[in-house]
């Protein structure tokens, strides 16, 4: 195996390629580069509210905990800030309107995504998309970027009672495919993904190009870091 494809801790006892049945893939920051359109909607919201706009790089650092948290962070300029309740109640529907109208202005799959998915399909893996984004945004985005038919099941942030970092979406997918957690892999870009996978008992790969709220992806508890989905496909084999 090409050692340059992955970078895992010396204490890891994982052998590559991993034998799994199911591959679950995160959306924002893993499959799709959505940051510019998320920032566009945020600045349109701020403009409507009479507040100063923020840089795309600043708003990018707010991505990772869903749209409600993104709106709160944009309003307060703090990762854990809580805005005035009335302001938030006014701002959220404004943001959702602007995002719905600008879902795929700039959003595109990351390099290696289409090739990686094709390789995984050809190898016979069951594929699922798991995101914290609301279904009203998730499904149109997957369709507009040509990814919708790649997945047998798509779980959005409002599909189940709990979302990542809770393990429920991952265990739900495992049950759907009649797989044990250790027979499943989650590919993501954030702390949410790493926590959810560890809690569920699944394997987890992380990509370095995503959002992770501005934090270093190398600090995450993951099995390995892969440069792309095509690289990830080279580190797994179909469990017979």
> For the segment 73-117, what is each residue's pLDDT rounded down to a tens digit?
999 999 999 999 999 999 999 999 999 999 999 999 999 999 999
Q: Which two tokens stand for residue 64?
A: 């990772």
Comparing C-alpha atoms, which of 207, 164, 173 is closest to residue 21? 173
DSSP assignment string, 79-111: TT----HHHHHHHHHHHHHHHHHTTTSS-EEPT
Q: Mean pLDDT for the chain?
A: 94
Is 189 a known active-site residue? Answer: no
pLDDT given at position 66: 85
In eight-state DSSP terms, residue 4 is G
pLDDT given at position 12: 52
pLDDT given at position 194: 97
pLDDT higher than threshold 90 for residue 6: no
Lowest mean pLDDT, pick from 8-17, 58-67, 176-185, 224-233 = 8-17
pLDDT in tens, 172-189: 999 999 999 999 999 999
Selected catalytic residue, list 26, 28, 37, 223: 26
Q: How confident is the model at residue 125 (pLDDT cuts 50, 70, 90)?
A: very high
- Average pLDDT rounded to a whole number, residues 17-36: 97
Long-range contacts of 150-153 (CB under 8 A, 24+ apart): 150/117, 150/121, 151/25, 151/127, 152/126, 152/127, 152/128, 152/177, 153/128, 153/129
Predicted structure pTM score? 0.92
pLDDT higher than threshold 50 for residue 10: no
pLDDT given at position 4: 37
pLDDT higher than threshold 90 for residue 53: yes
pLDDT given at position 73: 97
């Amino acid at each position: 195996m090409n050692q340059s494809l992955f970078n895992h801790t010396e204490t890891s006892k994982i052998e590559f390629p991993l034998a799994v049945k199911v591959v679950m893939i995160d959306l924002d920051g893993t499959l799709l580069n959505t940051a510019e359109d998320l920032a566009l909607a945020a600045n349109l919201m701020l403009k409507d509210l009479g507040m100063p706009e923020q840089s795309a790089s600043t708003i990018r650092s707010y991505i990772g905990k869903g749209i409600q948290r993104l709106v709160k962070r944009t309003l307060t300029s703090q990762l854990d800030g809580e805005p005035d309740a009335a302001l938030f109640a006014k701002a959220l529907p404004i943001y959702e309107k602007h995002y719905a109208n600008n879902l795929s202005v700039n959003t595109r799959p990351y390099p290696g995504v289409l090739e990686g998915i094709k390789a995984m399909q050809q190898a016979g893996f069951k594929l699922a998309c798991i995101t914290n984004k609301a279904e009203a945004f998730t499904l149109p985005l997957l369709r507009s970027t040509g990814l919708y038919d790649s997945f047998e099941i798509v779980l959005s942030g409002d599909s189940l009672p709990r979302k990542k970092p809770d393990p429920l979406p991952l265990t739900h997918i495992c049950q759907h495919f009649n797989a044990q957690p250790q027979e499943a892999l989650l590919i993501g870009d954030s702390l949410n993904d790493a926590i959810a996978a560890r809690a569920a008992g699944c394997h987890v790969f992380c990509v370095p190009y995503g959002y992770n709220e501005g934090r270093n992806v190398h600090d995450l508890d993951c099995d390995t870091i892969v440069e792309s989905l095509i690289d990830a496909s080279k580190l797994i084999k179909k469990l017979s």
